[in-house]
Structure 1
Amino acid sequence: MAKGARASSIKANNTALKTKVFGPIETARTERLSAKLLALAAAPRPSTQKDAGDVSMDVEGKTTPLVIEFKLNSVVDAAAPAPLKSALKVTKQADDMEVDKDTTQAPASSKPSSGRIEKKRSARSRSSGIVFPKYKNGKKVGTKSKKSGFFPYKPFLPGLAEYEAPGFGFGATPPKAPFDKIVFMVVDALRSDFVFSNESAFTFTQGLISKGAAMPFTAHATSPTITMPRVKAITTGSIPSFLDVILNFAESDTTSSLAAQDTWLAQMKAKGSGKLVMYGDDTWLKLFPDTFDRADGTSSFFVADFTEVDNNVTRHVPEELRNDDWNTMVLHYLGMDHIGHKAGPRSPNMLPKQKEMDGIVEQIYTAIETQKHLQDTLLVLCGDHGMNDAGNHGGSAPGETSPALVFMSPKFRKIFAGDESPIAATDEFQFYETVEQSDIAPTLAGLLGFPVPRNNLGNFIHQFFPMWRSVDDQFHLLVSNAKQILKVVTAAYPASLFGEDSPQDCQNPSSDIERLACDWKLITAQLENRGEIFPPHTDPLFYDIVTWLRHAQDIMGSAASDYNMGKLYAGQAIAFLSQILASVPAAPVRRTSYPLLAITLSYSVMVFASSFVEEEHNFWYWAASGWIAALIFKTARSSLTTSFSCVVVLAGLRLTRRWNQTGQKFAGEPDIARTFLAEHTTLLWALVFAMYMWNCYSLSSTGFPHLPRSIAKGISQLLAVMAAAFKVAFTHEDAPELLDWAASKVAELTTGFSLVTRARGVFIGIGLALAQVIGAEYLAEVRRHRFASTRTIHNLLTLFLITQSRATNIPLIMIFSAQFHLLHNLDLNLIEVTITSIIFQYTSFFAFGGTNSISSIDLSSAYNGVSGYNIVAVGILTFVSNWTGPIFWTSATTIMLLRLRASGEKNVLKHYIALQTVFAATSLCFVMIACTELRSHLFIWTVFSPKYLYSMAWTIGQHLGMNIGLGSLLFWLGTY
């Protein structure tokens, strides 16, 4: 869907570019080319023996052979007028008659030229391959950097850009900028429809668009769509590394700082015309240390706060608008992103938040209109990324990659007649023209009067060229942009390709980069021989440069950084070695492990297909159904009761697979959690309270074996009431639309304590109960209740998992509990327990709404009981809330293993861990191989790289931390 939306938006942009901006471009092109080609046909041919087949040009007093090979655009060829066709025919005849004869006398060191001037204008590149450059020194890309692995940092040009004469008759003095100050307002997760659609509350902004005082765009944000890499793209104009996904969550990280890189913030500071101030997301302070003269940052991960986090920004705005000592003010509002994470884009809090942000825009724009010292101020409103239907982001769905972008100033009324606003919403979230997010940096450079950042890959947004009346100024900006990007291209690819004496065949270029080089030589030749200056909207050269910029942006945007192949292969070797080592202790049970082998190999092969990675949940749902069907077939011969138990488990699986629609193909489709239960809130809370009552009954009946029954019952009820009250209060703040009248009454009766205090109360209560169970059993002279104590710990863990789950997912834990109870009563052997554990861990992960996309990470419960950012606490809570199902089945599996041990089977835990490790190591090894071998795949960063990150989480967090760590601890407590 994302790829189709992107393709359609590019096609629409190209159409608009031809019809609205360049006007009669094809007519002007054909007329001018006809004249030039006719003149060329009539001109005398070169008579010198040296390079006789080449056209000579005098550049700065030197006669330099210039080989230009160039094909007319197929569109122009088809519609070429008679003069142009005649010119082509005459040129070909002259070429055949004279030029080809002379090529035999060319030196052997030079490649013979046909002498034909063929204009090659290819369509915008759609290559899906990642191109690996051959560097000047001839070394392969993998040996360029020894510090980078699969997620390397892209190399960058150091230093601060300075104005340089672009050549071709243009001076070093840049065109005069129309603005000298900027208010850059970022609203986190500001999806395009939140501003432009008829369902938006940005009424003032829409009024500016219709009046011509605001120029709207949809800014395409490449994956990963999370704050840190998007801010990097906005400020540098470059393409960030996928490694920023990890750095985005490690808020204490400083290695991702942009202090050493050229950005438009650094350029504004270098101008020395004023101070830089920033209020909002402290990501800016981490990326740009010592850049801002006044700042007040807030944590971007404390998602429970919708209001204070934005009020902390807004309270500084009136005072700063009165100050005249700054030239840059950055505002980054987080409330909208927090609402999305907590309750999704359709939350009742969303429209009030939009109205609040629109009010800030009105306040700033009004000050620009009325205050003299702000009359040359540019206001930019944009989102760093969007959000999907679940309110998350990080992936490549249309909603995630389509943030809004609006440039606002009264000066725009002179060049912009206005546009329809609001307009109807679309599923692809494409409104007005779509630009790249990296285009912001060079556009600001022109509008504010500073050099384009050195590592920029963006293009100046062509709608702003009319801000300069002089045609020379407009060409100056465009050519400067092209020369700057040329430096980035030649830093990654051989500069000799773009030289006048480059050896490549421009008639049949073998790669995109060679085609780009040939097009650049054509543009250079046209710039050197420019005659009469034409307005950009009728000058074909202007269109040629814009097309070249887009082609260069495509190539550099898809080009990979240096891979350290040594590290990649070393990692694969280590994973393969761990697989072999794990197979040794699993050898005693290998004869009965064929079903596990089949699942492992099937899953491992699957990771090589991008569609299967995106829809992995289907594999596990079918594997679970097939496995339970096999158990039904096995038990049917011995007992109909056990077969019926398996049928009930299978029915539970049917419910869980429809609980949350996940993956990419059917994401956002109706499901039980977000559609059915959201409409039947009474049923939802009946199921939620039933789960709490079930847990309370389990604790009071078998838990706390060393305490009197009455005390055990009282503790169980107190914990259940505290946890239920917290969940009701949490939902009241998080998603009040899910509360029915009874739950609302409960929320009203329990007011008076903050959510942090309540969550801490639940956690402390669970911790004290856990300590009592372990301590009482450890101090007992005769340990008769070890198994009961383990069941109690499992129930306490279940209560903790309920606390970390969304209200709509709590009934899932009740289904898991019922399935566990039924499976526990079956006579499963070790292999069957292991297979059941693996299948149900993965099935439950996807049933809770998990995917292999970064956007499915749920942060809604990451701050339960946390009043500030603590990377350890938030990291643990985030993992628990996203791996709730697998953690539950880890604990449940341990109880089934204890039963196996009690039946007399030896080395149960050892063999279980060995089998789990074989599966984990094999799957990780195949994922690593897939990422290495498919590193040039179109979806390497949007599909396979997130899958690799999730595989790391599964291996380190779930397997090592839960299956081995937690599982071994519970097993030890049940056997010591």
Structure 2
Amino acid sequence: MAPRTVLLTVANLLIPVAILVFATGFFPYKPFMPGLAEYEEIGFSESLGKNWQSPPDAPFDKVVFMVVDALRSDFVYGEDSGMSFVQSLIRDGTALPFTAHATSPTITMPRVKAITTGSIPSFVDVILNFAESDTTSTLATQDTWLAQIKAKDFETGKGKLVMYGDDTWLKLFPDVFERADGTSSFFVSNVDLDVQDFTEVDNNVTRHVPNELLNSDWNAMIMHYLGLDHIGHKAGPKSPNMVPKQVEMDGIVRDIYSAIENEEHLANTLFVLCGDHGMNDGGNHGGSSPGETSPALVFMSPKLTKITKLADRQSPVKPKNEGEFEYYRMVEQSDIAPTLAGLLGFPVPQNNLGVFLEDFLGFWDAPLDRAQLLYRNAKQMKKIVAAKYTNLKFHESLPRGNVASECVGGTDVTDGQKLACLWQNVIASVMDDKDDSTYFYEFMHTAQETMSSTASNYNLPRLFMGTGLALLICVLSFFTLPSFQPVTLAGVYFSLSLVLYAILMFASSYVEEEHNFWYWTTSGWFMCLFFSNMRKEWYNNWIFHPAIMALAIHRVVRRWNQTGQKYAGADDIVNSGIFHGRNSIILWALIGATYMDITIRLARHVARSIATFDAEQKARKNVEIHSTDQNRMFGTIAVIPLCGTAVIFKLAFTAKDAPELTSGLSTSLMAKVETLELVGLARMVFGGLLLSGCWITFAEWIRSNKRKKRGAQGNGDLAVTLFDLTTLFLLTQTKAQNIPLYFLFRLQYFFLSLLTLTPTAATLTTLLLSQTTFFALGNSNAISSIDLSNAYNGISGYNIVAVGALVFLSNWAGPLYWSLAGLLLLGQHGQPQRHINTQELHVADWVAREREWLNELARKEDKGREVRKGTREWSRHVAVLTFWTGVMLVGVMGACTALRQHLFIWTVFSPKFLFAMAWGIAWQAGVTVGIGGLVWWVGSW
């Protein structure tokens, strides 16, 4: 094996190693205090009396905790909300509304952890959230309000809990529930999107509610509804299914609240309705936009009239700021845990950073009860603060009246010193027996803000080791790069782009708007291609120059979907209305043109394979076999069912996923299409693609053997075939409104193939268009941009491998397309015979074929040299992309390490590192080396 090949192999093997090492240092499991909290002696008996030691009586002994996934605040409180009954309870004073701030990452597992423990979860839960079978994220050994209820001695014995809905709760709390029925939070089957996805998934929860409301043996009933979140992922918050779903949830709230009012055993039941997170304008979540971080939180009970006399009872209301989602008072989602602890009478969980909500203090008339409740919450938080700032003293006693002067004066102190001072104020307030909660809340809110913003427990040696390995990847791949002599335009442009990209990774705003870098870099490269490929015949018609045409198409592509953060809601082609309503016929005309193009190309490939087995042509020895008119006819007949099924699947899927995109089509046609089973259609498409690929590969293998006997060289037909089959697969995995982009990609490829591209230029073009199309399809560096709508095509049961693969392929469809298209551009370098469409030569032109055969014999002795040249071009292509991956990892890892204390470390840089993981492992190893290597190899047959 050549030294260059060894270096390149080692460099690629180090990519996942470097990423894994860095990830374990950047996303460590946070340490926590094991065991359950217990009521402790809190002192001050001499000054405050023995009653101070007994926990105050709790106003409730049961809780119904109803989570509606992605329940954004405006879905409950807004004027367009379908939850009229909840709004009536707010007006009556029997419901207390809040907007609960959910910190990033806004996905289910970390949000459930925050709600139940009161702590700030680790960002690594983003990854674990996608692993349906993961059990390492369990909260079995951590203190939560569920564990406290289970351990509490009620009048009926130890606490019992029941749960129905999202099985994330079952994974987090194994062996906790007396009765449970879980539903997969990720399985969004497209058997019937309207019925199973949006309704049946919630009916599986609701069917248990009537019986459980009649049972008196439980102390906590948890429900987690998924339908509203699924609607958001499928069609966004403005979907026509959204308000009906809100009405359905409102009806369930009505039934439960009526039971609380009428059933004696539910008289002391607290009813909590909340969202685990919200959603953005696209219906997704995971990021830090206002819509994603602003779920609703409502406490309901007839008893609440005691404390809501002065509350704002107006409902519906407008948000405090236009375009935002803050309704009523904003609280932290972690505040739920200590609030439930006080209302149900159990100790605050040990790892809690939440604050008891002041609105509920009115349940206790005695000032000492209120003070004790807040003191126990503050003391629990003080333990976490003291564990963080071990060099400071947090005393449990203080001379009476001694309030720390530095806290009052606001002198310049560290966060730890400020908290130590505020704690002294708490002690002083208790000893002075003041009926004033000011000092308690000042300490707790400051501790909450400080500890929540404190950097993770980074493992710096691993961060440096991971970054060092990424640097080693750069060094190893650098020595495998093509020679820089002579200096080429592509080499200079590539180097400048790399340096600029690595620098921009240290700016949070540029990371959020990374698409602009690739859009402008690609535009600049097309202009470079224009000037470097300018010939005399183009002087008068320069506007039709292939590079200019590619640039013009690029301008349309970048306007197709608006992405990023700053202008996420700005106008784009997809959302301009041109494809909606009656205008949807325009969209489907473009989709039809795209499918027609791929059908014609696949028909030629199948015709060529049929010609391989044509008896008449097989009888002609030593002659390249070509397609006849009959072969082409049979090829078309064979391909139409496959492509037709693909179109029908996409039509049926869109009708249920985004009906506004099909409303301009025939009503009778859509009525028939909507009755079709999507899983079966998708499987037919995938099966047809697999069979077609196997058949054509077998035919090309036979042709290859015949060419070898003649000493002829392959012309890359199988590589083109696999590219076209992959394109049809990618169309199946792409949203309907983005399918016309592939027709534009095809035109771009055509114009680029007319240019004279060096191997480095072809590779650079591949890199630029891979990155550009990733963003052009609507993706960004925010987790909320990950599209799950096509992740379950053809799947009737959750399979982490299959779903994970489809998630990647559907979100990285553009880069995969250009990775393969780039190989075809690379393959045409120095081999003009690959431009000859031999399928179009007439069969009767026997003389021309004989001449071609003689020319092939004349080139026989050059075959070995050509093979070695092709291998060298491929290895250099991989070397350039490996070097790019190494530089990308160094930039991202360096930024995450240097800016680990940055305000946006978890909202900007951490998501970027997760995407860098996907680019480094799945794209570089899986696509560039894996799939790309396979296509390049078969292209030499």
Q: Give the TM bin, normalised by the shorter chain.
A: 0.7 to 0.9
Task: Note if contact 1:728-1:746 (Cα within 8 Å) is conserved in structure 2.
Answer: no
735-744 vs 909-918, which moves further: 735-744
Within 5 Å, which residues of 2 pair with 1:621-700?
A: 621-640=519-538, 644-676=545-577, 677-679=579-581, 680-700=583-603
Which letter maps to 1:301?
F
Offset of residue 496 of structure 1:
3.3
SS at match of 2:885: helix
Aligned to 1:431: 327
* Cα distance per residue 1:72-116 (max 9 Å; x no partner): xxxxxxxxxxxxxxxxxxxxxxxxxxxxxxxxxxxxxxxxxxxxx
Aligned equivalents of 1:320, 1:489: Cα separation in 2: 41
1:565 pairs, out of 446, 460, 477, with 460
SS in structure 2 opposite 1:160? coil
Q: 1:188 to 1:901 in 2, by over 3 A?
A: farther
Please report how far the alpha carbon of residue 746 of structure 1 lies from its aligned counterpart in structure 2 after TM superposition. Answer: 3.4
Segment of structure 1 superposing worse, 885-894 or 166-175: 166-175
Q: Give the SS at the match of 1:900.
A: coil
Q: 1:782 aligns to what?
A: 706
- Residue 381 of structure 2 aligns with an amino acid whose one-letter code is I
Residues 958-969 of structure 1 mapped to structure 2, 5 A cutoff: 958-969=923-934
- Provide the rounded CA distance (Å) in 2 between the counterparts of 1:623 and 1:586: 21
RMSD: 2.0
Deviation, 1:790, is 1.6
Aligned to 2:104: 223
CA deviation after TM superposition for structure 1 residue 505, in Å: 7.5
1:674–1:808 CA contact under 8 A, matched in 2: no
Deviations along 1:387-446, whole A, 9 cap, x unmatched? Answer: 000000000000000000000000011221351001135411000000000000000000
Q: For residues 741-752 of structure 1, what are the structure 2 equivalents within 5 Å?
A: 741-742=664-665, 744-750=667-673, 752=675
In the alignment of these two chains, the number of paired residues is 824
Question: What SS does the aligned partner of 1:331 have?
Answer: strand
Q: Distance in 2 between matches of 1:146 and 1:162?
A: 38
Gaps of 5+ in 2: 1-20, 190-196, 399-403, 611-630, 708-712, 833-865
- Sequence identity, in percent? 53
Q: What is the letter of the counterpart of residue 353 of structure 1?
A: K
State the partner residue of 2:58: 177
Paired residues of 1:841 and 1:890 also in contact (CA < 8 A):
yes
CA distance, structure 2, for counterparts of residue 172 and residue 900 of structure 1: 84
Bigger mean CA deviation after superposition, 782-791 or 552-561:
782-791
- The residue that corresponds to 1:4 in the other structure is none
* Aligned residue in 2 for 1:871: 800
Give distance in 1, aligned partners of 2:574 and 2:75: 24
The reply on whether 1:816 has 2:740 as its aligned counterpart is no
**How far did 1:638 drift?**
4.7
- In the alignment, is the contact (CA less than 8 A) between 1:233 and 1:239 conserved in 2? yes
The amino acid that maps onto 2:31 is: P
Distance (whole Å) between structure 2 residues aligned to residue 522 and residue 295 of structure 1? 46
Conservation of the 8 A alpha-carbon contact between 2:655 and 2:674:
no
Change (3 A) 1:862 1:901: farther
Query: Which of the residues 250, 260, 263 maps onto 1:371?
Result: 263
Partner of 2:250: 358
1:751 CA displacement: 5.1
Does the residue aligned with 1:380 lie in a helix, a strand or coil? strand
1:665-814 equivalences in 2 (<5 Å): 665-676=566-577, 677-679=579-581, 680-707=583-610, 708-742=631-665, 744-750=667-673, 752-780=675-703, 781-783=705-707, 786-814=715-743
| Counterpart for residue 17 of structure 2 | none
Once residues 940 and 746 of structure 1 are traced to their aligned partners in structure 2, the CA distance between those partners, rounded to angstroms, is 50
Hey, what does 2:620 align to over in structure 1?
A: none
Counterpart for residue 150 of structure 1: 26
Deviation at 1:587?
Answer: 4.1
Give the CA deviation at 1:148. 5.0
CA distance, structure 2, for counterparts of residue 626 and residue 881 of structure 1? 28
2:911 aligned partner, one-letter code:
P
* Structure 1 residues 295 and 500, CA gap change in structure 2 (3 angstroms): closer
Tell me the secondary structure at the aligned position of residue 588 of structure 1. coil
Q: Distance in 1 between matches of 2:718 and 2:666?
A: 33
> Quick one: structure 1 residues 703 and 586, their matched pair in 2 at CA, closer, same or farther if it must change by over 3 Å?
farther
Are 2:377 and 1:412 equivalent residues in the alignment? Answer: no
Q: Equivalents in 1 of 2:425, 2:729: separation in Å?
A: 67
Contact 2:392 2:417 in 1 (8 A): no
- Alignment match, 1:165: 41
Q: How far has the Cα of 1:646 moved from its partner?
A: 1.6
Q: Distance in 1 between matches of 2:687 and 2:666?
A: 24
4+ runs of 1 displaced by more than 6 Å? 500-507
Contact 1:504 1:514 in 2 (8 A): no
Write the deviation string for residues 114-138 of structure 1: whole angstroms up to 9, x where unpaired.
Answer: xxxxxxxxxxxxxxxxxxxxxxxxx
Q: Which amino acid aligns with 2:638?
A: I
> What is the CA distance between 1:681 and its match in structure 2?
1.0
Letter paired with 2:426: I
Name 1:334's counterpart in structure 2: 226
Cα-to-partner distance string for 1:677-718 (whole Å, 9 max, x where unaligned): 235211111111111111111212345522122221112211
Deviation, 1:463, is: 0.4
Q: Which residue of 1 aligns with 2:13?
A: none
CA distance in structure 1 between the partners assigned to 2:829 and 2:289 by the alignment: 46
**296-305 or 168-177: which moved more?**
168-177
Look up the match of 1:288: 173
Asked if structure 2 preserves the Cα contact closer than 8 Å seen for 1:197 and 1:424, the reply is yes
Q: Secondary structure at the match of 2:96?
A: strand
Give, as a single letter, the amino acid of the residue that structure 1 aligns with 2:317. I
Instruction: State the match for 2:198 in structure 1.
Output: 306
Partner of 1:245: 126
Matched residue SS, 2:273: strand
> Which of 814, 821, 825 pairs up with 1:896?
825
Query: Could you tell me how far apart the structure 2 residues matched to 1:898 and 1:556 are?
Result: 56
Query: Does the residue aligned with 1:216 lie in a helix, a strand or coil?
Result: strand
**Counterparts of 1:576 and 1:438 in 2: how far apart (Å)?**
40
Within 5 Å, which residues of 2 pair with 1:362-511? 362-417=254-309, 419-425=313-319, 426-494=322-390, 496-499=392-395, 508-511=411-414
Give, in whole Å, the separation in 2 of the partners of 1:942 and 1:237.
20
Correspondence 1:941 to 2:874: no
Structure 1 SS opposite 2:103: coil
Kept in 1: contact 2:422–2:442 (CA 8 A):
no
CA distance in 1 between counterparts of 2:413 and 2:879 reads 51
C-alpha distance in 2, partners of 1:432/1:389?
Answer: 22
Instruction: Give the residue type in structure 1 aligned to 2:494.
Output: L
Instruction: Look up the SS of the partner of 2:739 in the other structure.
Output: helix
The separation in 1 between residues aligned to 2:889 and 2:597, in whole angstroms, is 37
Please list every run of 5 or more consecutive structure 1 residues that lacks an aligned counterpart in the other structure. 1-144
**One-letter amino acid of the counterpart of residue 621, structure 1:** Y
The structural deviation recorded for 1:733 is 1.1
Of 587, 597, 607 in structure 1, the residue corresponding to residue 495 of structure 2 is 597
Whole-angstrom distance in 1 between the partners of 2:651 and 2:715: 34
Question: Structure 2: how far apart are the matches of 1:172 and 1:901?
Answer: 88
Matches of 2:752 and 2:111, distance apart in 1: 47
**Counterpart of 1:307 in 2: which secondary structure?**
helix
Once residues 638 and 617 of structure 1 are traced to their aligned partners in structure 2, the CA distance between those partners, rounded to angstroms, is 35
Q: 2:153 & 2:397 partners in 1: Cα distance?
A: 42
AA of the residue aligned to 2:245: K
Greater shift in the superposed pair: 962-971 or 741-750: 741-750
CA deviation profile, 1:293-318 (whole Å, cap 9, x unmatched):
10000110123411111000000000
Secondary structure at 1:455's aligned position in 2?
coil
Q: Name the structure 2 match of 1:610.
A: 508
